[in-house]
Structure 1
């Protein structure tokens, strides 16, 4: 073999080695606006990390939860990065299903993470997921419709006022509905809203002995008020509407009020995406008359690495990029600072430029900071959470109860029938799991 042949062979081997050095990771994420934006901004990541290729699996919220739960519990290894909530993180970390996120880089500034958010993602002193955005809940409403109806939003609205306002601003002939609320079944869809609403009514999922409380007056008040609002003043087909569907309805001017996640505020206030951007007001989540619990939840969508991943280093590089201060700067440069992922970093709410253009910023911060996940109910309860109950069984039970309530909204069951079914199925599953004392 000649020297030229040897050199040529070596060059081929070198090139082949360089090509095979590219690592492909699969990221499972939810189909909401902030995650779609992240995919659009991937050229920045690709330029910085040409050796890492990202394969996206983007799913509707309920489907995402089902698939990632199945994959991680079975150690399938289908995904290298998971988009999961602060409900799953501590439960899965204790099962050793997630890798700790040590040292996300010198520029990551982990100390800048919102304390309430970081604490919910930390187990035994280690961070097991990096928050992409965090949220609480708020009331968003059309200021022009309120003005036309001679209404003024109270500083702390209650459900009686919401019923009154919804009746006055509904104009079905014009395609304007007084209120939009989640109706799609799912523990993180309609039950996120209804669990939080029940907290505002003074209710709870369980008493101190883990006995289900759907046969109590608070849940009856919660569901009857919800059904009255939606049946009289809500849009048609509401039992199929989740966060994304209601967002679209509000942006197109079809909703007078919407009680949901604070993260929606930037999307309904963006004139590029919302027809009513200049007619939006914000208020705290309603409580019952004379009550003080606004039921404002604490939720974060986070990026985590399953222990089953064979490409943990590349996955960690991606997670660090997507949740870093530099990513917020990138969004600000491309889409404006009002649209950066909210709720995760203290510094964002100390930035005068952000506060100037985001009228919802202070209310978002107040809602997040006042969310009492350690004591979500006014009653003494054996669980933590807020819009969920932080036990592994809740995912299945919450979805099953959500199906009953969605059926009631669709007119397939009465409120009493839905509550009785919820009580029975929750009691059965909790007894099977060994909870009632």
Structure 2
């Protein structure tokens, strides 16, 4: 009997369709999931799936609002490691216990599984896992006489991008300029941590006015100056398209992009792409982040049994085999299941990037992202509820620095002010909650 049948819920007695509402980020891997979901529906007569697909910024706002208010619109939603940790503390997600037969937490890459868990219980199942890496055009770097090291520094990346930009007709770099904590905020935060910067010191004092933050921001702006036109509106998806179209030479971004930039049916430069580790600094560390677009079941869903069946199917080895049959092994969602990296067919198809992806995931130290001690977890984010609004606000300042509407001094000064205000408001709310708790205790 197939995993689908074991996990399924029979619809034979239903009088109408049982609708599963699924919210997903609009990217290539999840596009494939939607296309292949007919296999799930074939095993579940009487079930329909309503898909809600949005860009990263829009999806985060939509899902955060729905989950936070308990509206119950979504039965399954793509969330990341940030939401899995933060929302677990607020009991906004359904822990992945009592799952259908075939769901095994031990099947997932340990670092990804742990990042999606709270108190040892998974809060979401990884659809794919990722870190970050350096992707570059081997033909263009050879043309300008530059060699990309296997473990580059940000100076190496900037030098290569500058050489291409000055000596060819191709833009030197692609980089996220679109404002958002998960867009330019993610890239700059990982970059800043690699420079030894931190959002907050051990006493939760904001430190965006530090020399390390300035050094990271200067590198970010230098790369943005080498990007194709429209960099301020370019996020992950836009940069992926630009790189595939041969519009830039160097791109530091998610490892999950690797299969798309080397797909000859989607990428005009598929045969000329090289990979290296995410950049770092001699005095800091590498900037390789840890992330997963994962499938979670909001606590407000009234269709959790069917949602559990869908999550089990979509993160299974059976689904991986279905993708391989339909799209090829290189297109299988990476970084989530251990058995994928024991599969010789996958390792051969994804040879240019498979081992580097797994190594980057496993060496991302999200508990110690900076060379300086921090009170939070996260390489490209800070695992506190207020970071969504804070990261968005700082992302706006950085985008304005990219467009020239703000100089760097003013952008960092405004960012420091926002961070100061955010942490002060957080303290006041915490003090208020403590006072209310003490009052209730006294009354009891």
Q: Could you tell me which of 202, 208, 213 is aligned with 1:208? A: 202
Q: 1:314 aligns with which of 285, 306, 309?
A: 306
Alignment of structure 1 residues 23-62 onto 2, 5 Å: 23-62=18-57
DSSP 3-state at the match of 1:409: helix
What is the SS of the residue equivalent to 2:129?
Answer: strand
Determine which of 334, 345, 354 is the counterpart of 1:353: 345
Q: State the 1:70 CA deviation.
A: 0.8
Partner-residue secondary structure (3-state), 2:174:
coil
Q: Does 2:388 align with 1:395?
A: yes
Compute the displacement of 1:385 (Å). Answer: 0.8
The yes-or-no answer on 1:422 pairing with 2:415 is: yes
- How far the C-alpha of 1:218 sits from its partner, in A, is 0.6
Kept in 1, the 8 Å contact 2:195–2:370? The answer is no
2:284 maps to 1:301? no
Secondary structure of the 2:48 match is strand
Find the aligned partners of 1:237 and 1:138 in 2 and give their Cα distance. Answer: 23
Matches within 5 A, 1:375-414: 375-414=368-407
Q: 3-state DSSP class of the match of 1:178?
A: strand
How far 1:141 sits from its partner (Å)? 0.2
Deviations 1:113-166 (A, max 9, x none): 110111112222322111100100000000000111111111221122222211
Equivalent residues in 2 for 1:140-155, closer than 5 Å? 140-155=135-150
- The equivalent position to 2:319 in structure 1, one of 304, 327, 330, is 327
Corresponding residue for residue 272 of structure 1: 265
* Separation in structure 2 between the aligned mates of residue 394 and residue 80 of structure 1, nearest angstrom: 25
1:344 corresponds to = 336
Q: Normalized against structure 2, the TM-score is what? A: 0.91
Aligned match of 1:13: none
1:63 corresponds, among 47, 58, 64, to 58
- Following the alignment from structure 2 to structure 1, what is the Cα–Cα distance between the partners of residues 338 and 310? 22
1:90–1:120 CA contact under 8 A, matched in 2 = yes
Separation in 1 of the partners of 2:308 and 2:102?
14
Contact 2:290 2:366 in 1 (8 A): yes
| TM, length-normalised to structure 1 | 0.93
Task: Give the Cα–Cα distance (whole angstroms) in 1 for the partners of residues 210 and 117 of structure 2.
Answer: 35
Residues 152-161 or 413-422, more deviating: 152-161
Local SS of the residue matching 1:313: helix
Contact map agreement 1:83 1:303 (CA 8 A) in 2: yes
**Residues 51-60 or 158-167, more deviating:** 158-167
Count of aligned residue pairs for this structure pair: 419
Alpha carbons 1:30, 1:83 under 8 Å: kept: yes
Shift of 1:22: 2.8
Residue aligning to 1:222: 216
Offset from partner CA, 1:349-407 (integer Å, 9 cap, x none): 12122111211001101100000011111101111111000111111101100001011
Check whether the contact 2:173–2:223 (CA below 8 A) recurs between aligned residues.
yes
Give the deviation of 1:222 after TM superposition: 0.8
**Match for residue 187 of structure 1?**
181
Name the CA distance, whole Å, in 1 between partners of 2:212 and 2:181.
Answer: 19
Cα deviation digits, residues 57-82 of structure 1 (max 9, x gap): 00111011011111111111111111
**SS of corresponding position for 2:368:** coil
Say if 2:173 and 2:227, in contact at 8 Å, map to a contact too.
yes
* Distance in 2, Cα, partners of 1:286 & 1:168: 17
Give 1:17 deviation, angstroms: 8.3
Equivalent residue number for residue 4 of structure 2: none
Structure 1: 5+ residue stretches without partners:
1-15
Deviation at 1:212, TM superposition (A): 1.0
* 1:332-355 superposed Cα distances (whole Å, 9 cap, x missing partner): 010000110000011111212211
* Number of the residue aligned with 2:252: 259
Give the CA deviation at 1:323: 1.0
Deviates more, 1:388-397 or 1:88-97: 88-97
CA contact (8 A) 2:397 2:415 kept: yes
Contact 2:161 2:249 in 1 (8 A): yes
Contact 1:108/1:325 (<8 A) preserved: no
Aligned 8 A contact 2:135 2:251 in 1:
yes
Supply the distance in 2 between the matched residues of 1:127 and 1:21 (Cα, whole angstroms): 32
What SS does structure 2 have at the residue aligned with 1:250?
helix
